[in-house]
Structure 1
Amino acid sequence: MPLAVLSASHTPLMKDGVTTDDVRVAVKRGFRELAEYAEQFKPDLVIQFAPDHFNGFFYDVMPSFCVGINASSVGDWGTSTGTLPVTSIEAQQLSEFLVEDGFDIAVSYRMQVDHGFVQIWEEMFGDFSRYPVIPIFINCAAPPLPTFKRARLLGEAVGRWAAATGKRVLFSASGGLSHDPPTPNIATAPDEVKERLIDGRNPTEEMRHAREQRVLAAGARAYAGEPGILPVDADWDATFIQQLQSGNLSQLDAMTTKEVREKAGRGGPEVLAWVAAFAALSVDGEYTADLIYYEAIQGWIAGMAMMFAQSKKPRA
């Protein structure tokens, strides 16, 4: 059965971050077009690779990869709270397949996801329950991070499992591209921040508001061109997009997350999710990948990209 990829950047500043009205209109148009691609594909199942931003996963136990058997949204940055429509039996089957395939995968029966998982679906459809889903967390923010090669191999394994289901499976990736949000480093953070990185679950409204205000202020400084964070790098993003479109994903194995953080920002490693999703599709052979939208939105601290890819293999 057909396989496809739907990928899009997310940003917590989409609602209140600084940018022009033209950009806002174009982003909304891009998400509408992306939704049309998804509707035309008519997936039976979505397998989504996405990061977390110290809202659901913390340094008390930080897996490289985790399959959600059940999952719920924490509702940060104006996203909705609630239970994701996880196909739990298939999620368990996938996790068992991955272990047999050589991945010491973690599982969660109470996964908490943040805007990194749900925002793009709310932008496309108004809620995050449009399609049955298996969420796969990839650690993109809490070093040590998985390697690009390992993310590619994980994606290929997921792709093999999906291809054997006989279902129309849409692989999804959310994150990136280049962006440098003010994420603290546990090695240098003050004690109270370290504690939040280790176990910051269920913050008070005051704590969440203060955190969001810091990010909003960073976005305003970025829009004004002030120093403090790396600017969104449109050239780096273009090169990465071209590498995905080439289909030669093994060329990305040589990338290191340290190098990506230095060039594309602290949030740059979120492209690990994109590598996994495109690798999952690649098991079906050559594919075409359309770039639906891209803009380096400095005030949103985001290289905003949207892509849709499908196998070139003819279908009966």
Structure 2
Amino acid sequence: MSHSPLLNLPGPSQDLLDDIESALAEAREFVSDFDPELVVIFSPDHYNGFFYRLMPPFCIGTAAAGVGDFGTQSGPLDVPADLATDLATAVLDADVDVAFSASMEVDHGTVQPLQKLFGDAASRPVIPIFINSVATPLAPLRRVRALGTAVGQYLSTLDKRVLVIGSGGLSHDPPVPTLATAPPAALERIVHARPMTPEQRQARQAAVIQAAQEFARGEGKLQPLNPEWDHRFLQIVDGGHLEDVDGWATSWIAHEAGNSAHEIRTWVAAFAALAAAGPYKTTVRYYKAAPELIAGFAIRTAVPST
């Protein structure tokens, strides 16, 4: 499923929020019926827990807490440390280099989907897996797929009902600072993890709201959404042809769908994890090109075909 800080902020129309909420309600019903004993979530970070002073391509959390950005839940998640450690070991044994963190900080990209699906982000045991989707250079998609496969192979050995979540927008290019263009204050934050003051957080939130309003009016300098590209990606996911994205270059994704479209990495990893147990079929299918959220917003649920 996609996430957006603007779901928690003033600005989006009630019609759009109601439309998305209807699809989220279907996803919640799917999750409730499954009643997972463990949740594994692949998610990005937006310079709230991971920074350029040390930026791994992948990281598994053996303990984690939400930072509470954009109105999302703050505080510890219920991470089963032994299981998370075993998972990290299994992924390394599968020849995928992954970091691990015993003090992971996660932002809305992780917490918002958990809240939307469960109400309380800490209500179920969860293993967070960070995939760098913002801070270039990025891992190639074939390695992201290998990560997901390795995770899925481990999960298939557990005698548990496991829900796997991929959290990321499709085409979108919101105002996220980059190493090449960030002003000095932003560089201090994205490189050295300099905490933002309450005033800076408020200013950042106001800037995001303003950018979304301009974008929805067809103004500003943000790259347009690309629904055609989004639907092509969703066709690949729905058809189970994940290997088709192996050759998608980072530069090509950014050119076609925006710098933050790299968050599709979380979808690729999640579906690769499911595919490790065999063929799958998607059930709930939702997509909305939503300029008010500066995102191609999508939701999919899927189960093994057998």
Letter in 1 for 2:261: G
Letter in 2 for 1:210: A
**TM norm structure 1:** 0.94
User: Does 1:216 find its partner at 2:235?
Assistant: no
Give the deviation of 1:223 after TM superposition.
0.6
User: Does 1:112 find its partner at 2:105?
Assistant: yes
Larger CA deviation: 116-125 vs 263-272 = 116-125
Q: Which digits, 9 at most, give the CA deviation of each residue in 1:50-70, with x for residues without a partner?
A: 000000100010000000000
| 1:271 to 1:205, Cα distance in 2 relative to 1, 3 A | same
1:256 equivalent in structure 2: 249
- 1:246 corresponds, among 239, 244, 262, to 239
Query: Residue 292 of structure 1 contacts residue 308 of structure 1 at CA under 8 Å; is this kept in 2?
Result: yes
SS at match of 2:18: helix
Letter in 1 for 2:243: S
User: Does 1:103 find its partner at 2:68?
Assistant: no
Letter in 2 for 1:121: L
Letter in 1 for 2:228: D
CA distance in 1, matches of 2:140, 2:10: 31
Query: Residue 60 of structure 2 contacts residue 101 of structure 2 at CA under 8 Å; is this kept in 1?
Result: yes
CA distance in 2, matches of 1:58, 1:202: 11
Query: Residue 247 of structure 1 contacts residue 287 of structure 1 at CA under 8 Å; is this kept in 2?
Result: yes
Higher relative contact order (CA 8 A, sep 6+): 1
1:5 equivalent in structure 2: none
Query: Residue 48 of structure 1 contacts residue 134 of structure 1 at CA under 8 Å; is this kept in 2?
Result: yes
2:196 equivalent in structure 1: 203
Letter in 2 for 1:192: A
Give the deviation of 1:288 after TM superposition.
0.4
| Identical amino acids, percent of aligned pairs | 42
Give the deviation of 1:44 after TM superposition.
1.5
Unaligned runs of 5+ in 2: none
| 1:239 to 1:149, Cα distance in 2 relative to 1, 3 A | same
Give the deviation of 1:104 after TM superposition.
2.1
Give the deviation of 1:201 after TM superposition.
4.6
Give the deviation of 1:17 after TM superposition.
4.8
1:162 equivalent in structure 2: 155
Q: Which digits, 9 at most, give the CA deviation of each residue in 1:267-314, with x for residues without a partner?
A: 10000000000000111111101243211110110111111001011x
User: Does 1:276 find its partner at 2:269?
Assistant: yes
Q: Which stretches of structure 1, 4 residues or more, deviate above 3 A after TM superposition?
A: none
Query: Residue 214 of structure 2 contacts residue 220 of structure 2 at CA under 8 Å; is this kept in 1?
Result: yes
- 2:131 corresponds, among 114, 130, 138, to 138
Query: Residue 149 of structure 2 contacts residue 275 of structure 2 at CA under 8 Å; is this kept in 1?
Result: yes
- 1:87 corresponds, among 64, 71, 80, to 80
Query: Residue 297 of structure 1 contacts residue 304 of structure 1 at CA under 8 Å; is this kept in 2?
Result: yes
| 1:291 to 1:32, Cα distance in 2 relative to 1, 3 A | closer
1:179 equivalent in structure 2: 172
2:259 equivalent in structure 1: 266
Query: Residue 280 of structure 2 contacts residue 303 of structure 2 at CA under 8 Å; is this kept in 1?
Result: yes
Larger CA deviation: 121-130 vs 261-270 = 121-130
Letter in 2 for 1:161: Y
Query: Residue 38 of structure 2 contacts residue 125 of structure 2 at CA under 8 Å; is this kept in 1?
Result: yes
User: Does 1:71 find its partner at 2:61?
Assistant: no
Letter in 1 for 2:158: T
CA distance in 2, matches of 1:32, 1:304: 15
Structure-to-structure mapping, 1:271-310, within 5 angstroms: 271-310=264-303
1:3 equivalent in structure 2: none
CA distance in 1, matches of 2:235, 2:124: 29
Structure-to-structure mapping, 1:47-66, within 5 angstroms: 47-66=40-59
CA distance in 1, matches of 2:268, 2:188: 31
SS at match of 1:85: coil
Query: Residue 96 of structure 2 contacts residue 146 of structure 2 at CA under 8 Å; is this kept in 1?
Result: no
The aligned length equals 306
SS at match of 1:184: coil
Larger CA deviation: 166-175 vs 14-23 = 14-23
Query: Residue 48 of structure 1 contacts residue 136 of structure 1 at CA under 8 Å; is this kept in 2?
Result: yes
Give the deviation of 1:82 after TM superposition.
0.9
Q: Which digits, 9 at most, give the CA deviation of each residue in 1:102-128, with x for residues without a partner?
A: 122111011000000011221233221
**TM norm structure 2:** 0.97
Give the deviation of 1:130 after TM superposition.
2.9
